[in-house]
Structure 1
Amino acid sequence: MQVVSTVKEVRDIVAEWRKEGKTVGFVPTMGYLHEGHGSLISKAVEQNDKAVVSIFVNPMQFGPTEDLESYPRDLEKDSKFCESLGADLIFHPEPEEMYHEGFSSFVDMTVLTEELCGLSRPVHFRGVCTVVSKLFNIVQPDRAYFGQKDAQQLAVIKHMVDDLNMNVEVIGCPIIREEDGLAKSSRNTYLSAEERKAALILSKTIFMGQKMVEEGETDAVKLVEAMKKNIETEPLAKIDYIKAVDGMTMQQVTELKSPVLVAMAVYIGKTRLIDNFVC
Protein backbone atom coordinates (compact mmCIF):
# COMPACT_ATOMS: atom_id res chain seq x y z
CA MET A 1 0.00 0.00 0.00
CA GLN A 2 1.24 3.49 -0.89
CA VAL A 3 0.70 6.77 0.97
CA VAL A 4 0.96 9.90 -1.19
CA SER A 5 0.35 13.59 -0.59
CA THR A 6 0.06 15.22 -4.01
CA VAL A 7 -2.63 15.31 -6.66
CA LYS A 8 -0.09 14.38 -9.34
CA GLU A 9 0.93 11.21 -7.52
CA VAL A 10 -2.67 10.03 -7.20
CA ARG A 11 -3.43 10.77 -10.84
CA ASP A 12 -0.29 8.99 -12.06
CA ILE A 13 -1.04 5.87 -10.00
CA VAL A 14 -4.70 5.72 -11.00
CA ALA A 15 -3.75 6.28 -14.66
CA GLU A 16 -1.54 3.18 -14.53
CA TRP A 17 -4.38 1.18 -13.01
CA ARG A 18 -6.70 2.36 -15.75
CA LYS A 19 -4.23 1.22 -18.42
CA GLU A 20 -4.49 -2.25 -16.85
CA GLY A 21 -8.29 -2.11 -16.99
CA LYS A 22 -8.67 -1.93 -13.20
CA THR A 23 -11.79 -0.59 -11.46
CA VAL A 24 -11.32 1.89 -8.62
CA GLY A 25 -13.28 2.23 -5.38
CA PHE A 26 -12.89 5.33 -3.22
CA VAL A 27 -13.54 6.13 0.44
CA PRO A 28 -13.17 9.81 1.40
CA THR A 29 -12.48 10.31 5.12
CA MET A 30 -11.14 12.85 7.60
CA GLY A 31 -9.05 10.19 9.28
CA TYR A 32 -8.88 8.84 12.82
CA LEU A 33 -10.44 5.77 11.33
CA HIS A 34 -12.69 3.30 13.15
CA GLU A 35 -14.73 0.23 12.26
CA GLY A 36 -17.37 2.39 10.58
CA HIS A 37 -14.78 3.62 8.09
CA GLY A 38 -13.46 0.06 7.96
CA SER A 39 -16.81 -1.22 6.68
CA LEU A 40 -16.62 1.29 3.80
CA ILE A 41 -13.02 0.37 2.98
CA SER A 42 -13.82 -3.34 3.06
CA LYS A 43 -16.74 -2.80 0.68
CA ALA A 44 -14.51 -0.79 -1.68
CA VAL A 45 -11.91 -3.58 -1.64
CA GLU A 46 -14.57 -6.22 -2.20
CA GLN A 47 -16.29 -4.49 -5.12
CA ASN A 48 -13.29 -3.07 -7.01
CA ASP A 49 -9.86 -4.07 -8.26
CA LYS A 50 -8.20 -1.16 -6.43
CA ALA A 51 -9.25 0.84 -3.36
CA VAL A 52 -8.24 4.42 -2.54
CA VAL A 53 -8.78 6.10 0.84
CA SER A 54 -8.38 9.85 1.28
CA ILE A 55 -7.45 11.19 4.71
CA PHE A 56 -7.96 14.94 4.78
CA VAL A 57 -9.38 17.09 7.58
CA ASN A 58 -11.14 19.56 5.31
CA PRO A 59 -10.95 23.08 6.77
CA MET A 60 -13.66 24.36 4.44
CA GLN A 61 -16.43 22.38 6.15
CA PHE A 62 -15.68 23.68 9.66
CA GLY A 63 -17.26 26.85 11.03
CA PRO A 64 -15.14 29.40 12.94
CA THR A 65 -16.14 28.02 16.37
CA GLU A 66 -15.96 24.32 15.44
CA ASP A 67 -13.32 21.71 16.21
CA LEU A 68 -10.93 21.95 13.22
CA GLU A 69 -7.75 22.27 15.28
CA SER A 70 -8.72 19.65 17.86
CA TYR A 71 -10.15 17.12 15.39
CA PRO A 72 -8.29 13.84 16.14
CA ARG A 73 -5.50 12.80 13.78
CA ASP A 74 -3.28 9.69 13.66
CA LEU A 75 -1.92 8.94 10.18
CA GLU A 76 0.34 6.09 11.32
CA LYS A 77 -2.55 4.23 12.96
CA ASP A 78 -4.85 4.98 10.03
CA SER A 79 -2.29 3.69 7.53
CA LYS A 80 -1.91 0.37 9.35
CA PHE A 81 -5.69 0.06 9.55
CA CYS A 82 -6.16 0.72 5.81
CA GLU A 83 -3.39 -1.72 4.89
CA SER A 84 -4.91 -4.44 7.09
CA LEU A 85 -8.18 -4.09 5.18
CA GLY A 86 -6.55 -4.35 1.76
CA ALA A 87 -6.55 -0.72 0.63
CA ASP A 88 -4.07 0.06 -2.16
CA LEU A 89 -3.54 3.80 -1.80
CA ILE A 90 -3.94 6.56 0.79
CA PHE A 91 -4.15 10.16 -0.40
CA HIS A 92 -3.15 12.42 2.49
CA PRO A 93 -2.77 15.99 1.20
CA GLU A 94 -1.98 19.14 3.12
CA PRO A 95 -4.59 21.93 2.93
CA GLU A 96 -2.28 23.88 0.62
CA GLU A 97 -2.34 21.01 -1.89
CA MET A 98 -6.15 21.05 -2.02
CA TYR A 99 -6.68 24.81 -1.75
CA HIS A 100 -3.88 26.73 -3.43
CA GLU A 101 -3.36 30.45 -2.90
CA GLY A 102 -6.18 32.36 -4.53
CA PHE A 103 -8.59 29.41 -4.48
CA SER A 104 -12.06 30.85 -5.17
CA SER A 105 -14.24 28.15 -6.77
CA PHE A 106 -16.93 26.37 -4.76
CA VAL A 107 -19.70 23.80 -5.17
CA ASP A 108 -22.87 24.83 -3.39
CA MET A 109 -26.38 23.41 -3.06
CA THR A 110 -29.82 24.60 -2.00
CA VAL A 111 -32.87 22.80 -0.52
CA LEU A 112 -31.16 19.58 0.66
CA THR A 113 -28.61 21.55 2.70
CA GLU A 114 -31.06 23.91 4.38
CA GLU A 115 -32.36 21.50 7.05
CA LEU A 116 -30.79 19.32 9.77
CA CYS A 117 -27.01 19.82 9.97
CA GLY A 118 -27.13 22.48 7.25
CA LEU A 119 -29.35 24.67 9.43
CA SER A 120 -27.03 24.68 12.44
CA ARG A 121 -23.78 24.46 10.42
CA PRO A 122 -24.37 26.89 7.51
CA VAL A 123 -20.93 26.57 5.85
CA HIS A 124 -20.65 22.82 6.28
CA PHE A 125 -22.15 21.42 3.10
CA ARG A 126 -20.52 23.99 0.85
CA GLY A 127 -17.23 22.66 2.16
CA VAL A 128 -18.33 19.02 1.80
CA CYS A 129 -19.56 19.44 -1.78
CA THR A 130 -16.45 21.36 -2.82
CA VAL A 131 -13.94 18.91 -1.36
CA VAL A 132 -15.79 15.79 -2.53
CA SER A 133 -16.05 17.25 -6.05
CA LYS A 134 -12.30 17.89 -6.01
CA LEU A 135 -11.56 14.40 -4.70
CA PHE A 136 -13.79 12.80 -7.36
CA ASN A 137 -11.95 14.81 -10.03
CA ILE A 138 -8.57 13.76 -8.63
CA VAL A 139 -9.25 10.05 -8.05
CA GLN A 140 -11.81 9.47 -10.85
CA PRO A 141 -13.31 6.46 -9.05
CA ASP A 142 -15.90 4.06 -10.43
CA ARG A 143 -17.59 3.84 -7.02
CA ALA A 144 -17.45 5.93 -3.85
CA TYR A 145 -18.57 4.80 -0.39
CA PHE A 146 -20.24 6.85 2.35
CA GLY A 147 -21.77 5.91 5.71
CA GLN A 148 -25.48 6.14 6.46
CA LYS A 149 -24.64 7.74 9.84
CA ASP A 150 -24.06 10.96 7.89
CA ALA A 151 -27.40 10.50 6.14
CA GLN A 152 -27.82 14.09 5.00
CA GLN A 153 -24.30 14.11 3.59
CA LEU A 154 -25.03 10.90 1.69
CA ALA A 155 -28.20 12.42 0.20
CA VAL A 156 -26.36 15.63 -0.70
CA ILE A 157 -23.51 13.77 -2.42
CA LYS A 158 -25.91 11.58 -4.41
CA HIS A 159 -27.86 14.66 -5.50
CA MET A 160 -24.69 16.54 -6.46
CA VAL A 161 -23.44 13.61 -8.55
CA ASP A 162 -26.78 13.45 -10.34
CA ASP A 163 -27.06 17.21 -10.86
CA LEU A 164 -23.50 17.59 -12.19
CA ASN A 165 -23.44 14.37 -14.26
CA MET A 166 -20.45 12.97 -12.40
CA ASN A 167 -19.41 9.55 -13.60
CA VAL A 168 -19.27 7.81 -10.22
CA GLU A 169 -21.64 5.45 -8.40
CA VAL A 170 -22.28 6.60 -4.83
CA ILE A 171 -22.91 3.72 -2.43
CA GLY A 172 -24.33 4.14 1.07
CA CYS A 173 -23.33 1.68 3.79
CA PRO A 174 -25.07 0.88 7.10
CA ILE A 175 -24.31 2.54 10.43
CA ILE A 176 -21.73 0.63 12.47
CA ARG A 177 -22.30 0.71 16.23
CA GLU A 178 -20.37 -0.07 19.39
CA GLU A 179 -21.50 -3.16 21.31
CA ASP A 180 -23.63 -0.96 23.57
CA GLY A 181 -25.32 0.72 20.59
CA LEU A 182 -23.52 4.06 20.27
CA ALA A 183 -22.86 4.92 16.62
CA LYS A 184 -19.13 4.83 15.91
CA SER A 185 -17.65 8.29 15.38
CA SER A 186 -14.21 9.86 15.50
CA ARG A 187 -15.70 12.47 17.85
CA ASN A 188 -16.53 9.80 20.45
CA THR A 189 -12.92 10.20 21.59
CA TYR A 190 -13.82 13.65 22.95
CA LEU A 191 -16.19 12.13 25.53
CA SER A 192 -15.23 11.70 29.17
CA ALA A 193 -16.23 8.45 30.88
CA GLU A 194 -19.35 10.12 32.27
CA GLU A 195 -20.21 11.66 28.90
CA ARG A 196 -19.60 8.37 27.09
CA LYS A 197 -22.21 6.74 29.32
CA ALA A 198 -24.61 9.65 28.80
CA ALA A 199 -24.16 9.46 25.01
CA LEU A 200 -26.03 6.16 24.95
CA ILE A 201 -29.23 8.21 25.15
CA LEU A 202 -28.86 8.82 21.40
CA SER A 203 -28.92 5.19 20.31
CA LYS A 204 -31.52 4.30 22.95
CA THR A 205 -33.75 7.01 21.52
CA ILE A 206 -33.14 5.85 17.95
CA PHE A 207 -34.10 2.29 18.91
CA MET A 208 -37.18 3.61 20.72
CA GLY A 209 -38.22 5.51 17.60
CA GLN A 210 -37.72 2.47 15.42
CA LYS A 211 -39.88 0.41 17.76
CA MET A 212 -42.65 3.02 17.65
CA VAL A 213 -42.67 2.87 13.86
CA GLU A 214 -42.62 -0.93 13.86
CA GLU A 215 -45.61 -0.89 16.20
CA GLY A 216 -47.59 1.26 13.79
CA GLU A 217 -46.87 4.92 14.57
CA THR A 218 -47.43 7.00 11.42
CA ASP A 219 -47.53 10.51 12.92
CA ALA A 220 -44.10 12.09 12.48
CA VAL A 221 -44.86 14.88 14.95
CA LYS A 222 -45.76 12.43 17.73
CA LEU A 223 -42.67 10.36 16.99
CA VAL A 224 -40.33 13.34 17.15
CA GLU A 225 -41.91 14.66 20.36
CA ALA A 226 -41.53 11.27 22.04
CA MET A 227 -37.88 11.11 20.99
CA LYS A 228 -37.21 14.63 22.25
CA LYS A 229 -38.73 13.80 25.64
CA ASN A 230 -36.52 10.73 25.88
CA ILE A 231 -33.35 12.70 25.10
CA GLU A 232 -34.33 15.28 27.71
CA THR A 233 -34.20 12.62 30.43
CA GLU A 234 -30.39 12.78 30.16
CA PRO A 235 -29.03 15.85 32.04
CA LEU A 236 -25.82 16.02 29.97
CA ALA A 237 -27.70 16.06 26.65
CA LYS A 238 -28.64 19.22 24.75
CA ILE A 239 -30.68 18.80 21.56
CA ASP A 240 -29.52 20.55 18.40
CA TYR A 241 -32.31 18.97 16.36
CA ILE A 242 -34.52 15.90 16.10
CA LYS A 243 -36.53 15.86 12.88
CA ALA A 244 -38.37 13.59 10.48
CA VAL A 245 -37.66 14.57 6.88
CA ASP A 246 -38.28 13.28 3.39
CA GLY A 247 -35.39 10.94 2.58
CA MET A 248 -34.88 12.51 -0.84
CA THR A 249 -35.45 16.25 -0.27
CA MET A 250 -34.55 16.58 3.44
CA GLN A 251 -37.72 18.64 3.97
CA GLN A 252 -39.75 18.07 7.15
CA VAL A 253 -42.74 15.74 6.99
CA THR A 254 -45.77 15.23 9.22
CA GLU A 255 -46.55 11.68 8.12
CA LEU A 256 -44.23 8.67 8.10
CA LYS A 257 -44.51 7.66 4.46
CA SER A 258 -41.45 5.89 3.05
CA PRO A 259 -38.73 6.95 2.63
CA VAL A 260 -38.47 9.08 5.77
CA LEU A 261 -35.22 9.90 7.54
CA VAL A 262 -35.52 10.42 11.29
CA ALA A 263 -32.33 12.20 12.30
CA MET A 264 -30.86 13.85 15.37
CA ALA A 265 -27.91 15.92 16.45
CA VAL A 266 -27.32 16.13 20.20
CA TYR A 267 -24.60 17.73 22.27
CA ILE A 268 -23.20 15.61 25.07
CA GLY A 269 -21.22 18.20 26.99
CA LYS A 270 -19.39 20.08 24.23
CA THR A 271 -19.37 17.15 21.78
CA ARG A 272 -21.92 17.14 18.98
CA LEU A 273 -23.04 13.63 17.98
CA ILE A 274 -25.45 12.49 15.27
CA ASP A 275 -27.58 9.39 14.70
CA ASN A 276 -30.55 8.42 12.56
CA PHE A 277 -32.78 5.72 11.15
CA VAL A 278 -34.76 5.38 7.93
CA CYS A 279 -38.35 4.18 7.81
Structure 2
Amino acid sequence: MTGPTGKLGQQVVKQLRNRGIPLRLLTRDPQRIRADDGIFPMGNDYAHPANSGQVLSGVETLFMVSGHESPQRAEQQVSFVRAAANAGVGHIVYTSFVGASDNSTFTLARDHGATEAAIKDSGMDFTLLRDSLYQDFAPDLVGEDDAIRGPAGEGRAAMVARADVAAVAAAVLADPGAHAGRTYELTGPQALTMAEVAEAISHAWRRPVRYVDETLEEARASRAQFEPEEWQLEAWISTYTAIAQGTMERISEDVPTILGRPATSLAEVLSAPQ
Protein backbone atom coordinates (compact mmCIF):
# COMPACT_ATOMS: atom_id res chain seq x y z
CA MET A 1 0.00 0.00 0.00
CA THR A 2 1.01 3.58 -0.60
CA GLY A 3 0.46 6.50 1.76
CA PRO A 4 0.90 4.45 4.98
CA THR A 5 1.99 7.46 7.06
CA GLY A 6 -0.97 9.66 6.12
CA LYS A 7 -4.06 10.15 8.28
CA LEU A 8 -6.04 7.60 6.27
CA GLY A 9 -3.16 5.23 5.65
CA GLN A 10 -2.22 4.94 9.32
CA GLN A 11 -5.71 3.76 10.17
CA VAL A 12 -5.76 1.23 7.34
CA VAL A 13 -2.34 -0.12 8.31
CA LYS A 14 -3.49 -0.62 11.92
CA GLN A 15 -6.62 -2.49 10.87
CA LEU A 16 -4.79 -4.72 8.42
CA ARG A 17 -2.15 -5.55 11.02
CA ASN A 18 -4.93 -6.53 13.42
CA ARG A 19 -6.26 -8.89 10.74
CA GLY A 20 -2.82 -10.46 10.33
CA ILE A 21 -2.51 -9.43 6.68
CA PRO A 22 1.11 -9.17 5.45
CA LEU A 23 1.95 -5.67 4.28
CA ARG A 24 4.42 -4.09 1.92
CA LEU A 25 4.47 -0.37 2.67
CA LEU A 26 5.63 2.14 0.05
CA THR A 27 6.61 5.43 1.65
CA ARG A 28 8.66 8.57 1.22
CA ASP A 29 9.34 8.62 4.97
CA PRO A 30 10.54 5.17 6.17
CA GLN A 31 11.54 6.55 9.58
CA ARG A 32 7.86 6.96 10.48
CA ILE A 33 7.04 3.26 10.03
CA ARG A 34 7.61 0.39 12.43
CA ALA A 35 10.82 -1.45 11.59
CA ASP A 36 9.22 -4.91 11.40
CA ASP A 37 6.97 -3.94 8.50
CA GLY A 38 7.94 -4.56 4.89
CA ILE A 39 9.13 -1.07 3.96
CA PHE A 40 10.09 0.10 0.50
CA PRO A 41 11.10 3.73 -0.15
CA MET A 42 9.45 5.69 -2.94
CA GLY A 43 10.67 8.71 -4.85
CA ASN A 44 9.15 12.15 -4.46
CA ASP A 45 6.04 11.38 -6.51
CA TYR A 46 4.01 8.64 -8.15
CA ALA A 47 5.69 9.25 -11.48
CA HIS A 48 9.11 8.21 -10.23
CA PRO A 49 8.83 5.56 -7.50
CA ALA A 50 12.27 4.24 -6.68
CA ASN A 51 12.78 0.76 -8.15
CA SER A 52 9.10 0.45 -9.10
CA GLY A 53 9.60 -3.01 -10.54
CA GLN A 54 11.12 -4.23 -7.29
CA VAL A 55 8.59 -2.70 -4.93
CA LEU A 56 5.58 -3.89 -6.94
CA SER A 57 6.85 -7.28 -8.06
CA GLY A 58 4.94 -10.12 -6.42
CA VAL A 59 2.21 -7.84 -5.09
CA GLU A 60 -1.22 -9.46 -5.31
CA THR A 61 -3.28 -6.46 -4.19
CA LEU A 62 -2.25 -2.80 -4.24
CA PHE A 63 -3.94 -0.17 -2.09
CA MET A 64 -3.25 3.09 -3.91
CA VAL A 65 -3.94 6.18 -1.83
CA SER A 66 -4.34 9.23 -4.07
CA GLY A 67 -1.31 11.48 -4.12
CA HIS A 68 -0.73 15.02 -2.98
CA GLU A 69 -2.54 17.69 -4.96
CA SER A 70 -0.48 19.18 -7.77
CA PRO A 71 -0.88 20.08 -11.44
CA GLN A 72 0.97 16.86 -12.30
CA ARG A 73 -1.03 14.51 -10.08
CA ALA A 74 -3.11 12.88 -12.82
CA GLU A 75 -0.05 12.23 -15.01
CA GLN A 76 1.92 10.86 -12.08
CA GLN A 77 -0.82 8.55 -10.90
CA VAL A 78 -1.50 7.20 -14.38
CA SER A 79 2.22 6.43 -14.65
CA PHE A 80 2.13 4.53 -11.38
CA VAL A 81 -0.95 2.55 -12.42
CA ARG A 82 0.88 1.45 -15.57
CA ALA A 83 3.91 0.48 -13.50
CA ALA A 84 1.68 -1.65 -11.29
CA ALA A 85 0.12 -3.40 -14.28
CA ASN A 86 3.55 -4.03 -15.84
CA ALA A 87 4.78 -5.48 -12.54
CA GLY A 88 1.95 -8.01 -12.53
CA VAL A 89 -0.20 -6.59 -9.74
CA GLY A 90 -3.48 -8.50 -9.75
CA HIS A 91 -5.90 -6.14 -8.04
CA ILE A 92 -5.77 -2.39 -7.33
CA VAL A 93 -7.90 -0.58 -4.74
CA TYR A 94 -7.86 3.17 -5.30
CA THR A 95 -9.10 6.07 -3.17
CA SER A 96 -11.02 8.23 -5.62
CA PHE A 97 -13.67 10.94 -5.19
CA VAL A 98 -17.43 11.09 -5.70
CA GLY A 99 -18.33 12.26 -9.19
CA ALA A 100 -14.82 11.68 -10.55
CA SER A 101 -14.65 12.39 -14.26
CA ASP A 102 -12.65 14.39 -16.78
CA ASN A 103 -15.18 17.24 -16.62
CA SER A 104 -15.96 17.36 -12.90
CA THR A 105 -16.83 20.80 -11.52
CA PHE A 106 -14.50 20.06 -8.60
CA THR A 107 -11.23 20.35 -10.47
CA LEU A 108 -9.29 17.88 -8.32
CA ALA A 109 -11.87 15.18 -9.10
CA ARG A 110 -10.65 15.32 -12.70
CA ASP A 111 -7.34 13.80 -11.55
CA HIS A 112 -9.32 10.94 -10.06
CA GLY A 113 -11.28 10.53 -13.28
CA ALA A 114 -8.07 10.15 -15.28
CA THR A 115 -6.66 7.68 -12.75
CA GLU A 116 -9.86 5.63 -12.74
CA ALA A 117 -9.78 5.44 -16.54
CA ALA A 118 -6.19 4.19 -16.47
CA ILE A 119 -7.07 1.58 -13.86
CA LYS A 120 -10.02 0.30 -15.87
CA ASP A 121 -7.83 0.06 -18.98
CA SER A 122 -4.96 -1.64 -17.17
CA GLY A 123 -6.26 -5.20 -17.19
CA MET A 124 -5.98 -5.44 -13.40
CA ASP A 125 -8.96 -6.23 -11.21
CA PHE A 126 -10.01 -3.09 -9.39
CA THR A 127 -12.13 -1.60 -6.64
CA LEU A 128 -12.74 2.15 -6.60
CA LEU A 129 -13.48 3.89 -3.31
CA ARG A 130 -15.12 7.18 -4.23
CA ASP A 131 -14.90 9.21 -1.02
CA SER A 132 -16.91 12.33 -0.35
CA LEU A 133 -15.35 15.29 1.44
CA TYR A 134 -13.97 14.28 4.83
CA GLN A 135 -16.01 15.33 7.84
CA ASP A 136 -12.69 15.54 9.70
CA PHE A 137 -11.68 18.41 7.41
CA ALA A 138 -14.78 20.53 8.15
CA PRO A 139 -13.20 22.44 11.07
CA ASP A 140 -10.31 23.44 8.78
CA LEU A 141 -12.80 25.32 6.59
CA VAL A 142 -13.36 27.81 9.41
CA GLY A 143 -11.34 31.01 9.12
CA GLU A 144 -9.87 33.16 11.86
CA ASP A 145 -13.12 35.12 11.92
CA ASP A 146 -15.08 31.95 12.76
CA ALA A 147 -16.67 31.87 9.32
CA ILE A 148 -16.79 29.29 6.54
CA ARG A 149 -16.64 31.23 3.29
CA GLY A 150 -17.35 29.97 -0.20
CA PRO A 151 -19.85 29.95 -3.10
CA ALA A 152 -21.75 26.80 -2.06
CA GLY A 153 -25.16 28.47 -1.82
CA GLU A 154 -27.82 26.08 -0.49
CA GLY A 155 -26.05 23.03 -1.94
CA ARG A 156 -25.49 19.97 0.19
CA ALA A 157 -22.61 17.57 0.73
CA ALA A 158 -22.85 14.06 2.21
CA MET A 159 -19.47 14.31 3.94
CA VAL A 160 -17.88 11.10 5.21
CA ALA A 161 -15.79 10.25 8.27
CA ARG A 162 -12.20 9.35 7.47
CA ALA A 163 -12.45 6.43 9.92
CA ASP A 164 -15.35 5.00 7.91
CA VAL A 165 -13.30 5.19 4.71
CA ALA A 166 -10.41 3.41 6.47
CA ALA A 167 -12.72 0.70 7.77
CA VAL A 168 -14.21 0.13 4.31
CA ALA A 169 -10.75 0.02 2.75
CA ALA A 170 -9.58 -2.55 5.30
CA ALA A 171 -12.68 -4.69 4.67
CA VAL A 172 -12.11 -4.58 0.92
CA LEU A 173 -8.40 -5.34 1.23
CA ALA A 174 -9.12 -8.29 3.51
CA ASP A 175 -11.20 -9.92 0.75
CA PRO A 176 -10.52 -8.09 -2.51
CA GLY A 177 -12.01 -10.73 -4.75
CA ALA A 178 -15.44 -10.15 -3.25
CA HIS A 179 -15.25 -6.51 -4.32
CA ALA A 180 -13.66 -6.86 -7.77
CA GLY A 181 -15.10 -4.55 -10.41
CA ARG A 182 -17.03 -2.54 -7.84
CA THR A 183 -17.18 1.24 -7.43
CA TYR A 184 -18.31 2.34 -3.98
CA GLU A 185 -19.50 5.81 -3.04
CA LEU A 186 -18.47 6.46 0.55
CA THR A 187 -20.63 9.11 2.20
CA GLY A 188 -21.97 10.04 5.57
CA PRO A 189 -25.59 9.59 6.69
CA GLN A 190 -26.63 13.19 6.02
CA ALA A 191 -26.30 15.70 3.20
CA LEU A 192 -25.64 19.04 4.87
CA THR A 193 -25.51 22.62 3.65
CA MET A 194 -22.49 24.67 4.62
CA ALA A 195 -24.75 26.61 6.98
CA GLU A 196 -25.63 23.33 8.70
CA VAL A 197 -21.96 22.36 8.84
CA ALA A 198 -21.20 25.69 10.51
CA GLU A 199 -24.04 25.09 12.96
CA ALA A 200 -22.66 21.66 13.87
CA ILE A 201 -19.21 23.13 14.45
CA SER A 202 -20.73 25.91 16.56
CA HIS A 203 -22.35 23.30 18.77
CA ALA A 204 -19.14 21.30 19.12
CA TRP A 205 -16.95 24.34 19.80
CA ARG A 206 -19.55 26.12 21.93
CA ARG A 207 -19.04 29.38 20.13
CA PRO A 208 -20.71 30.90 17.06
CA VAL A 209 -19.46 29.77 13.65
CA ARG A 210 -21.28 31.07 10.59
CA TYR A 211 -21.38 30.38 6.87
CA VAL A 212 -20.84 33.25 4.44
CA ASP A 213 -22.10 32.53 0.93
CA GLU A 214 -19.64 34.23 -1.43
CA THR A 215 -19.83 35.16 -5.08
CA LEU A 216 -17.05 33.84 -7.27
CA GLU A 217 -15.38 37.25 -7.21
CA GLU A 218 -15.59 37.42 -3.42
CA ALA A 219 -14.20 33.90 -3.14
CA ARG A 220 -11.15 34.80 -5.19
CA ALA A 221 -10.61 37.99 -3.21
CA SER A 222 -10.92 36.33 0.21
CA ARG A 223 -8.25 33.78 -0.71
CA ALA A 224 -5.81 36.21 -2.28
CA GLN A 225 -4.04 36.67 1.07
CA PHE A 226 -2.70 33.10 0.79
CA GLU A 227 -1.13 33.84 -2.61
CA PRO A 228 -2.14 30.48 -4.10
CA GLU A 229 -1.17 29.32 -7.55
CA GLU A 230 -4.06 29.53 -10.01
CA TRP A 231 -4.68 25.76 -10.07
CA GLN A 232 -4.88 25.69 -6.28
CA LEU A 233 -7.22 28.67 -6.17
CA GLU A 234 -9.54 27.01 -8.70
CA ALA A 235 -9.48 23.81 -6.67
CA TRP A 236 -10.43 25.60 -3.46
CA ILE A 237 -13.28 27.51 -5.05
CA SER A 238 -14.56 24.59 -7.10
CA THR A 239 -15.01 22.59 -3.90
CA TYR A 240 -17.87 24.98 -3.10
CA THR A 241 -19.25 25.39 -6.60
CA ALA A 242 -19.48 21.60 -6.91
CA ILE A 243 -21.50 21.55 -3.69
CA ALA A 244 -23.72 24.31 -5.06
CA GLN A 245 -24.40 22.22 -8.17
CA GLY A 246 -25.46 19.22 -6.10
CA THR A 247 -22.67 16.88 -7.18
CA MET A 248 -21.92 15.83 -3.59
CA GLU A 249 -25.42 15.58 -2.15
CA ARG A 250 -26.24 11.92 -2.83
CA ILE A 251 -26.29 9.71 0.27
CA SER A 252 -24.96 6.24 -0.45
CA GLU A 253 -25.64 3.06 1.52
CA ASP A 254 -22.24 1.58 0.67
CA VAL A 255 -20.63 2.37 4.04
CA PRO A 256 -23.37 0.76 6.17
CA THR A 257 -23.70 -2.16 3.76
CA ILE A 258 -19.99 -3.01 3.89
CA LEU A 259 -19.45 -2.28 7.59
CA GLY A 260 -22.76 -3.58 8.93
CA ARG A 261 -23.38 -0.43 10.94
CA PRO A 262 -24.57 3.13 10.28
CA ALA A 263 -22.18 5.62 8.74
CA THR A 264 -20.67 8.06 11.22
CA SER A 265 -22.27 11.50 11.45
CA LEU A 266 -20.52 14.87 11.42
CA ALA A 267 -21.67 15.48 14.99
CA GLU A 268 -19.99 12.25 16.10
CA VAL A 269 -16.72 13.19 14.42
CA LEU A 270 -16.74 16.68 15.92
CA SER A 271 -17.43 15.35 19.42
CA ALA A 272 -14.75 12.66 19.32
CA PRO A 273 -11.61 13.24 21.44
CA GLN A 274 -8.80 14.76 19.41
TM tier, smaller: 0.3 to 0.5
TM (norm. structure 1) is: 0.40
Structure with the higher strand share, 1 or 2 = 1
TM (norm. structure 2) is: 0.40
